[in-house]
Structure 1
Amino acid sequence: MSKRILIVDDDKGVAFFLREHLLEAQAGYQVETADSSEEALEIMARRPFDLVITDLRMPGMDGLELMEEIRQISPRTRLILMTAYGNERIERTAYQLGACQYITKPFRVQDLIERVDKALAEVQAPGRESLDMTDQRFDELGRYLADLRFEVGAQCILLADVAGQLLTYVGEAEGLDLPTLVSLMAGGFATAFEMAHYLGEKRATTLNYHEGRLYDVYSSNVDDNLFIVLIFDKRKQESRIGIVWLYTRRALQRLQELVGSLEPIEADQVLDADFGALLSNSLDQLLIPQETEEAEPSMTLEEATNLLLKDASPPQTDDEPTVETIDWRKAQEMGLIDLSRLGEG
C-alpha cells in the first residue's frame, strides 16, 4: 500500500513545490497539502497519514503545536519539522514531541526526499493493511460515522485497529487522551481474539460497556482487526444503552462493507441471547409508555402504626392542647391497623 504524506506550510508555493518533487520521486507516495495547521487537522480527521511534514512558523497554530495535536490523534504518524528559524531549543522540543527528522531551510530537495524515505521506511505497516481504501471511500466512512454519532448523541466515535492505531474519529475529543484509550482497548480486543482462536472459534464478537462517573464508553469489534468506540460525556448527555447498542448493531455490517472486511459478521452473530434480552428490556423501558404507577415503597410495622395514629389523633385546639399515646395492640383493637394487610412477621 502506498504511503500517505501531508505537507503543511502557509506558503502555498513551497507546499506545491515539495509535493511535485515527492510525486516525481518514483516511490509511489500519495501527497496532499494544507496551508494551515487547522486545515491539516481537518484533513487528518477524514483519513490517516503515514507522514506529516510541517513548517514551524505559521499563522494561528504553529508547527510544534500541530505536532503535539497529531501525537494525540495519530501516534503512529511520523513527523518532520522544517524551519528557517531553527535553534537547539526548537530542535530539542521537536524531538520531544516525536519528530523523526528535523531540517532547516534552505535545504536541497534531495535532502528532504532522503529524510522522507528514511522516515517511511521505519513505519510499521498495520496488520492486514487496516484501511486500504480510496479517498472517496474513506470520506464515505467519515460521513457514516458522523451520522451514527448524530443518531446516538455521542460526544466522539472513533475507529481503530488492534495494533493500537487510531484510524479516524468524528466528534469532540477535547479532554480525552485518545492514544492511551485506544491502546488500552486494543489490548483487550487482541486478547479476546486470541482467546477465541485458542477455543477454536472462527468468529468472535466482543462487546464492551464502561459506565463511569464522567463518561460512558461502548465498543465493539468490526472484524478481526478493527473496532469502533462510542464515547458519551455524561456531563453533557446521558447515554441510553438500548438505543446505543441497537444502532451499533445496525452499523457493524455497513462498516464491514466500507472497510472491506474479508469475512463479514452475520447480524445474528453480533448479540447472543442474554444480550438480546438485555437490549429488549432496555428498549422496553425507553420506548414503551409506562401505564402502571410504581408501587409505594413498603413500610415497617412501626412506621405504619405511627402514620395511622398520626392520622387518627383528634385535632388539637389552641385553648386546650391534648396528647394521647396508645400502643400498637390497642390500635389494632380499635381497628386502626390491619396486620393481615401489612404482613406481620
Structure 2
Amino acid sequence: MDKKPHILFVDDESNILMGLRRGLHGKRKLWKMSFAEGGHEALELVRNDHIDVIVTDMRMPIMDGAQLLEEVRELSPDTARVVLSGYSKDEAILRVVGAAHQYLAKPCNFELLEATLERLITFRANLDKYEVREKITQMKSLPSLPDVYQELMVELQNDFSTNKSIAAVMEKDLGMKAQVLKICNSAFFGLPQQVNDLPSAISLLGMDTLRSMSLLSGVFSSYKGSAQELAVMQKICDDSLEISLVAQKLSKLLYNKSELGELVSCAGTLSHVGSLVIAISWPQEFKQVMQLSQKQDKPIEKIEQGLIGVDHAWIGAYFLGLWGFSFNVCEAVAYQHQPGNCPDVPQPVLTVVYLAHELIRFSKEDNSNFEMFLDTLDQEFLNKQHIDIADVDWAGVLKVKAA
C-alpha cells in the first residue's frame, strides 16, 4: 500500500501542469502526485482514489476552482483544499473563502508551494484520527455569536465606522478573528510577512473587502443554537480573550520583545478555538465533557481524549494549521497543556500561553498562595526556556484582566 501523501494539482492549461511536474520532480519520492486538466477530470480522480491535498487554479472553463472545491468538500471531506491562482479580483477571492483552506497567488515560487504543502502534510500526520480530521477539514467557517454578528453587521454599514471600531467588535469572537487573519495572510494580498493582529489585518483588507466578506460571500454567519449553547460559546470566547491578555502581560515581563506581542496575542486568543470546533462538530460529546468536568476532578483535555480521541488543543492546532496560521501559533495551541512534549526549544509563545492558562486555572480554584502555583508547573520545561519566574507578581499579572 502506497503510504505517501497524495497531492492532486488541477489546471486547465497543460503547460502549467507540465511546469508543476518539472518543478516538483524532486518530491516524487516523498509525495504521490496526480495532475488533472480541469474540474471534471479532477473529480474522477477524487472519486477513485484518496487525495490528501488538492491544489487548483481558480479561473477554469465549465467548472471553476470554487465550484470544484465545493464538490471535493462533499466527496472527500478529509482532503485539504488549496487555491493556486493568478485571478485576484476581490469577488473571485471571496468566493473561495469557505471552500479553500489556503490561497497561493501565481506566479508562485516552488519554495513557497513546497513549504505550504509540507506544512499541511505535517499537520495532517500529527492528527491521525481520520474521523476527527475529516470533520475539521470539511468545515468552511466558524459561526459567530449572534449578538456579535449583529453588532458587526451594523458597524460595517455605518459610514463613520473605523478600523479600530470594527476590530473591537471582532475581538469578541474567535470565528471572526480567525477568518479575517486567514484571508489577510493569503498570498492574494502579497504581504511581505505574516499578520497576527486584528487591527492591522482589517486595515490591510480595507472596508470594501470586509463588506464584501459579510454581504457577498457570507463568510460570517450567526450561530443558531439554544440559549445554553450560546452561553457556552460566549464563555469560550471570554476565556480565550482572558488568556490572551494575561499572556501578553507575561510576554512583556519575561521577554520584553515587541515582535512577540502579535504572536502571543493571536495564540492566546485562539488557544480555545478547538473547544469551539468541538462544540460545533461534536455537540453531544461536548455536553458530556462539560458535565463530566464538573463531576470529576479531571482536566477537560483528558475527558475529551476519552470521548473523542483527541483534545481541544490538538484539534485547534490542526484547524489553525489547515488555515495557514504561523507555526509558532499552532505549536503554542497544540502544546498549551503539555509544553514538555514540544520538540522545539526555546518556545516563548508557548511558554507565556501555557503560564497564562495555568495561572488562570489556579486562580479559579480559589487559591491565593502563589508560591504553591510554582509547584504546579512543568519545571523541566520552564528550565529549558532560560527565564526567571521566581519573582513574578502573579497576582499583579491577573489584574490585567480588569484593565
Interval of TM-score (by shorter of Structure 1 and Structure 2): 0.3 to 0.5
Q: Normalising by structure 1, what TM-score?
A: 0.36
Higher strand share: 1
Q: Normalising by structure 2, what TM-score?
A: 0.31
Higher relative contact order (CA 8 A, sep 6+): 2
